[in-house]
Every structure is written in C-alpha cells, then in structure tokens.
Amino acid sequence: MENLVFKYKIQTFVKIAMLVLLLLLIILFFVLSEDSVNQSDLLKLIIFVLLWVILFFIRSDKSHIGSSENCLKIKWVNWFREIVIKDSEIEKIILTRLYVSINRKGKKSVKLSLESLEKNEKTKIYEFLLEYSKQRNLVLERQLNL
C-alpha cells in the first residue's frame, strides 16, 4: 500500500499572511519606539524574531498517512509529531464525511478532520483505510451520512 501525502493550500496562505503580519508588527514595534535602543530592547527583538522563526518552521501544512509493519503511521496537519498506532491497539475505524476516527483499545481515539480536503483526497483516504482494514482484518464502520 502506498503512503498518502496531502498539502493544504489554504493553510499555507494563512500561515504566510500571519507570519508577514507578525514580522511587520515586530518592525513597527522597534521603529516607533521613542527611546534609544538599549539592551532590553535588543533582547525583546531577539525574542520576537525567534518566535517568528519558530512559528514559521514548526507549523505544518502537510499531512500523511501510511502503513508500516503491523502499524499505521499518521502525521496530520498542525500535529507536532507522527502518531504510530499498532494494529493490535485498533478497536475499529469509523469513516464519516467530515472526519475519520480510529478507536484504540484503552486509549483516546485518534480523530482526523477531513473538512479542508478536496473530494478526491477524501476518496483516497477512504480507499486506503478500506484496503488497510481488509489486509489487517480490522473492524471498519462506514457512517457517511453523518
């Protein structure tokens, strides 16, 4: 089975617009300050720029879902790290129009929002999870009317 990768175009635009706005605010903050530049102002500038760099590089606009040996690997939009779900942990997979829920035994379920995906991308996810559940003999519920 092939791993699926999705890129969110709207998320990318919003990310760039917010970061440009934040950068302009940082510059205005120091241009409009009436006092002479001292050490505390330089420290504030460094902190603001570091915050800007962190926000620029950490925020993810890509998602991927794939299978590995006896596990499902998921990295969804704006998640900081990838989640690895072992096949033995999966109680059932629920497919709906707006999200996919993976219920795990004794753990919190993993919910993947599909609202910002295109129809063909949703179809690819559904097909991937259908094939994955058939190969691994997992319970799959379709609630596409929800």
pLDDT tens digit string along 72-116?
999 987 777 889 999 999 999 999 999 999 999 999 999 998 887
Average confidence (pLDDT) over 44-71: 79
Cβ neighbors of 98 (< 8 A, separation 6 or more) are 113, 114, 115, 146
Domain of 89 in residue numbering reads as 63-143
What is the structure's pLDDT at 91?
A: 95
Both 139 and 81 in one domain: the answer is yes
Both 46 and 110 in one domain: the answer is no
Both 52 and 77 in one domain: the answer is no
Domain count for the chain, please give it.
Answer: 2
- Model's pTM, two decimal places? 0.69
Distance between CA atoms of 130 and 35, rounded to whole angstroms? 64
Which one is predicted more confidently, 135 or 38?
135
